[in-house]
Chains A and B, each alone.
Chain A
Amino acid sequence: MDLARRRRRLGRSSSDDGRHNHWPIILVETVRGQELVTHACPRARACGIMPGLTRSHAHALAPDASLHVMAHEPQRDLDALRILARWLHRRYSPTVAVDPPDGLLLDITGCGHLFGGEHQLRRHLLDALERRHITAQIGIASTFMCARAVSRFDCPLGHTIETGDEHQALAPLPIDALDLDDDTLTALNDVGIDRIEHLVALPRSELARRYGGDVLRRLDEATGEAMESINAVPHRSRATVERLFNGGLLQTEALQYAVRDALTELLDDLQRRERGLRRLELRLERLDLPPATIAFDVSTPTRDQRHIWSLLEPKLSDVHFGHGIEQLMLTASRTGRLPHAQHEHWRHDDTGSQRAIEQAQGELLDTMIARLTSARVLRLSMQDAHQPEACARMVPANEPTPRTWPAPVTVDRPSRLPQRPQAVTMIDEDARGMPQRWRREGATFTATRTVGPERIAPAWWDHDGSDAPSDFSRGFGMRDYFRVQDEHGRWHWLCRMREHGRWWHHGDWS
């Protein structure tokens, strides 16, 4: 699954023009300092690359040593599996469970006839998955364990097992099909029990005593002699509230009242689900006009009606009513987890206040963004660069913050870095090339103390060497920085471009 997702992403990226799309893909995980293959795509398997090999071994086996190697991320796999389970839940079956690491269990009792039979359902599902670039094997049986086994291992009876044929279908399969833990599997393999038929042939009392009740339970579940239970993904629908008006609505007050009322209902619904609003959409159906849509995001999940209303109200007053509004539909199109307030009383006090702070922070951000737009409410994003002007960038504040930040520089840096460095006319330099007197914007400065130079050079891999950049706007040349104090005690950060010796003012301490 994950493989498929990655391959799709590779196919989309323009950097390799799809040239390397046919390369095998492997996922590696570092175990005790060794990079081991955890998953290999069918192409890789065809080359003989199997999970458990080292990365270098896999490279040696691949044709022309060309492989896509990626890190194995089990949590993302699981998340993707859950999303797929939700989708299957909407499309195919009311009961879907996740079977980590790569399985899904569907209870299709009574669902087959909607697709024209179980066989058609299976075909339909396979096609749908294939369109999403997901390779899947589907087994159908009267018990989950049996279906699981026949989907993963080749069964002489095919992938669809009729009720009553479980024993016959399972008999030739290896005992791996029973989802036993590794220790039990090894113990059974040690005494030569490889197939389920061997297991069935053993006396049940012996089996339970030697290998634990788990083996028998799994066996019974597979053959339908014991009850199975699965942990189905919960049913979750979008929180939506609708209001229909008798005739077109024309008064602003009436609309505000109706929206407020709908919002209360929506938030009550979210409260029952322990969700907080992240994105709200309001759709207004108008007479003789296309529907008007109002949508906005909030930065932290919230159920605070006052806050949401304060964001919604100014937008509502801009709506053109046309010949009247017939219907309004309020949807929480994105939500986030927001535990009930009561839960917090049992936690430590600090986390409660912490959450209150986050909530207040979110409200502050939303209110600012609503008035100033997100392009003017910014956060820092640091790059690991040597250029003073390139190491910090501003990004909209509602984008996620990075977890780690580059280490601070230890040398002195100015407190203000102008957006554009100013050209400086150097009147006088001393014998060592230190600035003595300079002129900037019509004023003349005299150096009383100078510290430097600090040389900041471009990274060699960025510099093509063809065209020496002549000013700041065009790339980055080698520069010598000086901290200079003028006669009034102000400190300036002057720099000289190495290529042509011109001077720039690139910051000061104020």
Chain B
Amino acid sequence: MQSELLQRLNDRIQAIQQQRGRSSALPEYRHADRIGRDETPGTSSSSGGPPAQVPTNAPAHASNGPGTGHDVDRRLWQRIALMPGMVHEWFGQAGAQDQPYRARVLRPPLCMMVHLARHAVMECPDGALVIWIGRACWPYAELLAPSSRAMPIDHDACGDQAEPRIGARIGRGPDLRPRSLFIDPHTDAERLWTIDLAARSPSVAAVFADGRGFGLAETRRLQLAAKGSPVRIHLARAANEERALSASGVRWHLAPTPSSTSRPRWHLTLRRLKASATLRQLLDREPSWLLEWNHASRTVAVPARVVRGSRATTPASRPVIIRRRSA
């Protein structure tokens, strides 16, 4: 039953892509005119339930058959995450053991940010910058080095006009080190001003910023700056701010999950997507993906074993689409 649904979903995505022919799926996302159609700010997080439930719920619905149509699904998250014209908010998970010291503290998803920066840079013309705002959001420099292995090139995710760079083709991802700019704002006002400034500059590919303490007014300002701009704005929010009001277009929740390999894994959940009706209809209420960090390519991807469709040992290690409410 579930696998049939997944299959139908993937077929529809492919059909829509074929209809559009060579134009990418991105312009559709860009002109997101029906913002807030089915969600009002603030209610989305309450409908999500406690984040810790995501992995435990997963096996109950994960009964998809091997090898069918996973290709579109496993990159759908990336396509949404690379959507320009939206403010993406990233929430971490505050675990029980975090409570005494980490609940208030930001835990930016830096692996994910590096992955997105890599893909954003490949789409943009040479010399476009990646801007890291706020000391907490500065990734370790080694992760910005060119990957020793080829990045998985994804034409769908990059859009059609994004011809992969030569370096990527011959087996190296882009070098983010010369293109990264690190900003250390001291006050919230400075932080907001810098994000806004960077979001309006044509020389910027993506902005990754510390979004702690931003409320409705701040996120609305950023969302307005993002609209119509090719710059991707990603805000790292503290785990305890998930109930805070915000006008951002996309909300993600990233929870670490025990891994059976020696690579870090996360459960990624899409908590909010203020997108066009077409896209909204394609997606379930809160789709979720299992992702794994690959240091050699310095990217994040759905684990290979799951993609190939072989039977995974841990029940959680599958791409799952979770339905919270029965449709």
Decide if A416 is an interface residue (CB 8 Å cutoff).
yes
Q: Chain B residues with Cβ under 8 A from A358's Cβ?
A: 127, 203
Which residue of A361, A417, A449, A510 is within 8 Å of B203 (Cβ)? A361
Q: Chain B residues with Cβ under 8 A from A409's Cβ?
A: 142, 145
| Residue of chain A at shortest CB distance from B106 | A510
| Residue of chain A at shortest CB distance from B100 | A442
Decide if A466 is an interface residue (CB 8 Å cutoff).
no
Q: Chain A residues with Cβ under 8 A from B97's Cβ?
A: 443-445, 488
Contact yes or no, B258 A489, CB < 8 A: yes
| Residue of chain B at shortest CB distance from A377 | B183
Which residue of B109, B125, B185, B256 is within 8 Å of A354 (Cβ)? B125
Which residue of A356, A414, A483 is within 8 Å of B262 (Cβ)? A483
What separation, in Å, do the CA atoms of A453 and B186 have in the docked complex?
Answer: 38
User: In angstroms, how far is the closest chain A Cβ from the Cβ of B4?
Assistant: 31
Contacts A380-B180, A488-B258 given; does A357 touch B144 at CB 8 Å: no
Contacts A378-B181, A485-B258 given; does A510 touch B140 at CB 8 Å: no
Contact yes or no, B177 A364, CB < 8 A: no
Contact yes or no, B142 A443, CB < 8 A: no
What separation, in Å, do the CA atoms of A415 and B108 have in the docked complex?
Answer: 10
Q: Mark the stretch among A10-18, A111-119, A366-374 that contacts chain B.
A: A366-374
What separation, in Å, do the CA atoms of A442 and B111 have in the docked complex?
Answer: 26
User: In angstroms, how far is the closest chain A Cβ from the Cβ of B264?
Assistant: 4
Contact yes or no, A413 B295, CB < 8 A: yes
User: In angstroms, how far is the closest chain A Cβ from the Cβ of B37?
Assistant: 32
Decide if A427 is an interface residue (CB 8 Å cutoff).
no
Decide if B198 is an interface residue (CB 8 Å cutoff).
yes
Decide if B15 is an interface residue (CB 8 Å cutoff).
no
Interface string of B97-133 (1 = CB under 8 A from A): 1101110000111110010000000000111110000
Contact yes or no, A408 B184, CB < 8 A: no
Contacts A410-B296, A488-B256 given; does A415 touch B183 at CB 8 Å: no
Decide if A41 is an interface residue (CB 8 Å cutoff).
no
Contact yes or no, B140 A371, CB < 8 A: no
Contact yes or no, B125 A485, CB < 8 A: no
Tell me the B11-29 residues at the A interface (CB within 8 Å): none
Contact yes or no, B127 A372, CB < 8 A: no
Interface string of B182-223 (1 = CB under 8 A from A): 111110001001100110011110000000000000000000
Contacts A372-B185, A379-B182 given; does A414 touch B202 at CB 8 Å: no
Decide if B139 is an interface residue (CB 8 Å cutoff).
yes
Contact yes or no, A405 B177, CB < 8 A: yes
Interface string of A394-408 (1 = CB under 8 A from B): 100100011001011
Q: How many residues of chain A are within 8 Å of chain B by beta carbon?
A: 59
Contacts A361-B129, A510-B109 given; does A408 touch B147 at CB 8 Å: yes
Decide if B175 is an interface residue (CB 8 Å cutoff).
yes
Which residue of A361, A397, A509 is within 8 Å of B111 (Cβ)? A509
Decide if B327 is an interface residue (CB 8 Å cutoff).
no
Interface string of A352-393 (1 = CB under 8 A from B): 011011101101110110011000111110100000100110
User: In angstroms, how far is the closest chain B Cβ from the Cβ of A391?
Assistant: 7
Interface string of A421-445 (1 = CB under 8 A from B): 0000000000000000000011111
Which residue of B127, B148, B185, B265 is within 8 Å of A410 (Cβ)? B148
Contact yes or no, A361 B127, CB < 8 A: yes
Which residue of B135, B177, B193 is within 8 Å of A380 (Cβ)? B177
Contact yes or no, A415 B139, CB < 8 A: yes
Contact yes or no, A510 B110, CB < 8 A: yes
| Residue of chain A at shortest CB distance from B129 | A361
Q: Chain B residues with Cβ under 8 A from A79's Cβ?
A: none
Decide if A24 is an interface residue (CB 8 Å cutoff).
no
Contact yes or no, B203 A491, CB < 8 A: no
What separation, in Å, do the CA atoms of A356 and B126 have in the docked complex?
Answer: 11
What separation, in Å, do the CA atoms of A392 and B182 have in the docked complex?
Answer: 13
Decide if A412 is an interface residue (CB 8 Å cutoff).
yes
Decide if B141 is an interface residue (CB 8 Å cutoff).
yes
Q: Chain B residues with Cβ under 8 A from A488's Cβ?
A: 95, 97, 256, 258
Decide if B293 is an interface residue (CB 8 Å cutoff).
yes
Contact yes or no, B203 A364, CB < 8 A: yes
Q: Chain A residues with Cβ under 8 A from B190's Cβ?
A: 371-372
What separation, in Å, do the CA atoms of A358 and B129 have in the docked complex?
Answer: 10
Decide if B50 is an interface residue (CB 8 Å cutoff).
no
Contact yes or no, A401 B178, CB < 8 A: yes
Q: Chain A residues with Cβ under 8 A from B303's Cβ?
A: none
Contacts A379-B180, A379-B182, A380-B177 given; does A368 touch B140 at CB 8 Å: no
Which residue of B101, B114, B129 is within 8 Å of A415 (Cβ)? B114
Interface string of B148-188 (1 = CB under 8 A from A): 10000000000000000000000000010110111111100
| Residue of chain A at shortest CB distance from B295 | A412
Decide if A507 is an interface residue (CB 8 Å cutoff).
yes
Contacts A378-B183, A379-B182, A488-B95 given; does A416 touch B140 at CB 8 Å: yes
Decide if B146 is an interface residue (CB 8 Å cutoff).
yes
What separation, in Å, do the CA atoms of A497 and B95 have in the docked complex?
Answer: 29
Contact yes or no, A490 B256, CB < 8 A: yes
What separation, in Å, do the CA atoms of A351 and B3 have in the docked complex?
Answer: 49
User: In angstroms, how far is the closest chain A Cβ from the Cβ of B292?
Assistant: 11
Contact yes or no, A392 B126, CB < 8 A: no
Q: Chain A residues with Cβ under 8 A from B194's Cβ?
A: 368, 372
Decide if A487 is an interface residue (CB 8 Å cutoff).
yes
Which residue of A364, A413, A490 is within 8 Å of B143 (Cβ)? A413
User: In angstroms, how far is the closest chain B Cβ from the Cβ of A191?
Assistant: 56
Decide if A470 is an interface residue (CB 8 Å cutoff).
no
Decide if B319 is an interface residue (CB 8 Å cutoff).
no
Contact yes or no, A415 B258, CB < 8 A: no
What separation, in Å, do the CA atoms of A412 and B148 have in the docked complex?
Answer: 12
Which residue of A402, A407, A489 is within 8 Å of B257 (Cβ)? A489
Contact yes or no, A509 B203, CB < 8 A: no
Tell me the A439-480 residues at the B interface (CB within 8 Å): 441-445, 448-449, 451
What separation, in Å, do the CA atoms of A411 and B142 have in the docked complex?
Answer: 10
What separation, in Å, do the CA atoms of A442 and B181 have in the docked complex?
Answer: 35
Q: Chain A residues with Cβ under 8 A from B141's Cβ?
A: 380, 382, 391-392
| Residue of chain B at shortest CB distance from A507 | B140
Contact yes or no, A357 B202, CB < 8 A: yes
| Residue from A356, A402, A409, A413 having most chain B Cβ neighbours under 10 A | A413
Q: Chain A residues with Cβ under 8 A from B111's Cβ?
A: 415, 509-510
Which residue of B110, B183, B256 is within 8 Å of A489 (Cβ)? B256
- Pairs A–B under 8 Å by Cβ, sample size 17: A350-B125, A357-B125, A358-B127, A364-B201, A365-B181, A377-B182, A378-B182, A380-B141, A405-B145, A409-B142, A410-B296, A412-B295, A413-B142, A442-B101, A483-B262, A489-B259, A510-B109
- Apart from A364-B197, A380-B178, A449-B259: 9 A-B pairs, beta carbons within 8 A: A354-B127, A361-B129, A376-B185, A405-B177, A412-B295, A413-B142, A485-B258, A489-B256, A509-B293
Give the interface of B toward A (CB within 8 A): 92, 95, 97-98, 100-102, 107-111, 114, 125-129, 135, 139-148, 175, 177-178, 180-186, 190, 193-194, 197-198, 201-204, 256-259, 262, 264-266, 293, 295-296
Q: Which 6 A-B pairs have the closest CB atoms?
A: A408-B145, A392-B141, A415-B110, A360-B203, A489-B256, A361-B203
